[in-house]
Amino acid sequence: MEKIRISKLMAERGMCSRREADAFIERGWVRVDGEVVSELGSKAYPNQKITLEKQARQKQTQRVTIILHKPVGYVSGQAEKGYRNAVSLISGVTQYKGGRGGVRFEPGHLRGLAPAGRLDIDSTGMLILTQDGRIARQIVGEDSVIEKEYLVRVSGKLTERGLAMLNFGLTLDGQQLRPAEVSWQNEDQLRFILREGRKRQIRRMCEMVGLKVVGLKRVRIGDIVLGDLPVGQWRYLKEGEHLA
């Protein structure tokens, strides 16, 4: 049995992100089989027990996760080509008054806040931003099976075979896509449920079956729904809310 970096093991077990793991190790907040580990790059066997000290657990509980209704025209990550990024929308002014959940906005909540997944500049709907690496990994980790639901307005003619291909049978960038759930929501709108997130995946899938996407809105990630959250406003993930 080969030893693996402890930070990698911690990320694989969903304890935190690899970056967070390194920070906890540096502070001496990680134990392997009861022994404190404080040297970066330390390794352990996959069957060894890894635990976090109380200080690390407390730090995790202080981290916030934000649900944003991203408008069209904003990029998910770094600002580019004159476009603002989604994080720039987070302030006390844009906090949804119906969704405070007992948490008051503080500027410190912007520190390390990053989008968990993408929502392209031409799309609107739910974007999750978080300081918590565990939540980010649930959504965008390689082994993630969290559902993302979209309402997609399209133009063009979709055949029965085309609809079947959208559900399963398409390949992007040389890789077969995971099975999806695609059905008609109404006469010009499709409902997509995906368990992966390739770049501009839905738009490219639609192009492959002769459709053009006119509008795209993400309405759910896991068990979290966008609901009545207004465009351009945000709320905190509430206590008791979980992705799955």
Residues serving a catalytic function are: 120
Beta strands in 100-211 (DSSP E): 114-115, 124-130, 148-155, 171-172, 175-176, 181-186, 189-194
Give me Rg for the CA atoms of the chain. 20
Helix (H, G, I), strand (E, B) or coil at 218: strand
Q: Which amino acid is at 72?
A: V
Q: Is residue 146 within 8 Å of residue 243, measured between CB atoms?
A: yes
Residue for token pair 């899938």: 205
Residues found in the chain: 244
In whole angstroms, what is the distance from residue 174 CA to residue 177 CA?
A: 9
Q: Which amino acid is at 218?
A: R
In whole angstroms, what is the distance from residue 83 CA to residue 95 CA?
A: 21
Q: Is residue 85 within 8 Å of residue 78, measured between CB atoms?
A: yes
**DSSP letter, residue 36:** E
Dihedral pair phi/psi, residue 146, rounded to 5°: -65, 130
Q: Which amino acid is at 199?
A: K
In whole angstroms, what is the distance from residue 138 CA to residue 148 CA?
A: 12
